[in-house]
């Protein structure tokens, strides 16, 4: 069968869909990806791609949203605790897509030209749902972890797009959920799929290769603050970590793409810094991870059974992710002033956190695989 993947142009939306693209092609199916910017990374992973908006990225979409609807962008980036995140992000994405009509039209036009048997779409990407409805084929939402907004909600928030094309929701729909059910309960009707880490292509930098092939004398802690937190918050956290490092019985590997570390001064001897690494390779050799509560990083830590420390960042659903991890006992949420040797060493030594992490690691291994999901897609499409 022909499978069209329509992907929001963000790395965190794209990488989780790579394993299913692999599985579909291994099963003999044809895959086409309609996206732009970081969404085209599936091409590096072996899928055929079409660029529906050359040069456009999720960061640019958020920037344009901030220019035209600053109050909406403010809620998305700094949503307060207690505000329904799905409503915030759903409304923000619908508003952002209205500002990108050429991209929206190109996604739908690509589907009409290529005539897939099924459309697999990113959460919130309503053009993919509309395209499936126009073609009369199933629409399958591929979650990126922790939050799964319903197609019903998006069809209400972006009702004008459905009305413009004279369609309602497709009759055949499904949602793939990659979060372990013990961390976020899978809603009725969703398809669980075990998370398979993918972090991009390219060779390991030689210094990282040498580091990962050396058994550390003390616990190794991975540090990544992603590209999402506002620079001020990230800088405060990084300062705390670097100040704590010489006093902590641990080795730190700091990964901060596109961040200049020179203003922080000379790095402590037990800190190694890289601007990019394949996180799965790094985490496999670590004892814990400090991160920004990004879904992909959190799930990668779970795959490797690692305790997690999450600075209390706001915005983009980070509080939702961090709270789910803390509630499952996989790690701790930390205020900036709490980050120090005592916290880090206590998390690594906490037997209850290690036990919970081992349980969730085993849970992921027992979940259906991408190949299992391919069988369900075949059944849904009548292939």
Instruction: Compute the average pLDDT of residues 22-28.
Output: 96
For residue 170, pLDDT beyond 90: yes
| pLDDT score recorded for residue 83 | 58
How many other β-carbons are positioned within 10 Å of the β-carbon of residue 330?
A: 26
Whole-number Å distance between alpha carbons of 194 and 44: 22
The lowest-confidence range among 114-118, 293-297, 307-311, 361-365 is: 293-297
Q: Which residue has the higher pLDDT, 281 or 169?
A: 169
Q: Which residue has the higher pLDDT, 90 or 296?
A: 296
Structure tokens at 333: 């949420």
| pLDDT score recorded for residue 150 | 86
What is the average pLDDT value for the chain, to the nearest integer? 90
State the DSSP code for 271: E
Q: Which residue has the higher pLDDT, 360 or 61?
A: 360
For residue 10, pLDDT beyond 70: yes
Whole-number Å distance between alpha carbons of 282 and 120: 30
Q: Is 189 left (phi over 0), alpha (psi -120 to 50) or beta?
A: left
| pLDDT score recorded for residue 80 | 56
- pLDDT of 216-272, one tens digit each? 889 999 998 875 555 567 788 888 899 999 999 999 999 887 677 788 888 999 999
The lowest-confidence range among 82-96, 100-114, 155-169, 172-186 is: 82-96
Single out the residue of 99, 131, 137, 133 nearest to residue 117, CA to CA.
137
For residue 41, pLDDT beyond 60: yes
What pTM was computed for the model?
0.91
| pLDDT score recorded for residue 106 | 95
Single out the residue of 378, 327, 15 nearest to residue 182, CA to CA.
327
Cα–Cα–Cα angle for 149, 226, 218, rounded to 5 degrees: 120
Instruction: Compute the average pLDDT of residues 186-206.
Output: 88
Q: Percent of the chain beyond pLDDT 90?
A: 58
Instruction: Compute the average pLDDT of residues 295-318.
Output: 90
Domains of the chain (ranges; CATH) run 2-194+367-381 (3.40.50.2000), 206-365 (3.40.50.2000)
Structure tokens at 55: 């040069």
pLDDT confidence tier of residue 175, bands split at 50, 70 and 90:
very high
| pLDDT score recorded for residue 44 | 86
Residue by residue, DSSP assigns 318-381 as HHHHHHHHHHTTSEEEE-GGG-SHHHHHHHHH-HHHHHHHHHHHHHHHHSPPHHHHHHHHHHHH
- pLDDT of 71-104, one tens digit each? 887 777 766 545 577 778 888 888 889 999 999 9
Instruction: Compute the average pLDDT of residues 171-193.
Output: 94
- Rg, Å, the chain Cα set: 21
Whole-number Å distance between alpha carbons of 248 and 253: 13
């Amino acid at each position: 069968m022909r499978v069209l993947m329509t992907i929001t142009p963000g790395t965190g939306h794209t990488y989780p869909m790579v394993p299913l693209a692999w599985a579909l092609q291994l099963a003999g199916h044809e895959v086409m990806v309609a996206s732009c910017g970081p969404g085209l990374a599936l091409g590096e992973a072996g899928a055929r791609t079409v660029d529906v908006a050359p040069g456009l990225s999720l960061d640019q979409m958020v920037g344009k949203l901030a220019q035209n609807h600053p109050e909406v962008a403010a809620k998305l980036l700094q949503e307060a605790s207690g505000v329904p995140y799905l409503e915030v992000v759903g409304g923000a994405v619908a508003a952002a897509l209205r500002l990108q009509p050429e991209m929206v039209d190109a996604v739908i036009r690509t589907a009409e030209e290529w005539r897939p048997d099924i459309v697999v779409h990113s959460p919130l990407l309503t053009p993919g749902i509309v395209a499936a409805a126009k073609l009369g084929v199933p629409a399958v939402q591929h979650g990126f972890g922790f939050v799964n907004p319903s197609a019903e909600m998006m069809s209400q928030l972006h009702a004008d797009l459905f009305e413009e094309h004279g369609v309602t929701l497709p009759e055949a729909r499904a949602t793939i959920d990659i979060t372990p059910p013990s961390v976020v309960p899978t809603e009725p009707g969703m398809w669980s799929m075990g998370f398979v880490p993918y972090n991009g292509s390219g060779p390991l930098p030689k210094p990282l290769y040498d580091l990962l092939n050396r058994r550390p004398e003390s616990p190794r802690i991975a540090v990544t603050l992603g590209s999402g937190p506002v620079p001020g918050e990230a800088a405060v956290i990084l300062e705390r970590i670097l100040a704590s490092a010489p006093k902590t019985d641990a080795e730190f590997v700091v990964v901060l793409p596109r961040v200049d570390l020179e203003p922080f001064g000379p790095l402590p001897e037990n800190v190694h810094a890289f601007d990019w690494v394949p996180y799965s390779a790094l985490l496999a050799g670590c004892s814990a991870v400090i991160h920004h509560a990004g879904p992909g990083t959190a799930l990668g830590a779970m795959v490797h059974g690692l305790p997690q420390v999450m600075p209390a960042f706001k915005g983009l659903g980070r509080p939702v992710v961090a709270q789910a991890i803390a509630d499952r006992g996989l790690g701790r949420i930390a205020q900036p002033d709490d980050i120090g040797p005592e916290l880090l060493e206590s998390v690594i030594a906490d037997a209850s956190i290690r036990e919970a992490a081992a349980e969730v690691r085993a849970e992921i291994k027992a979940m259906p695989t991408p190949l299992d999901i391919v069988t369900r897609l075949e059944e849904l499409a009548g292939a």
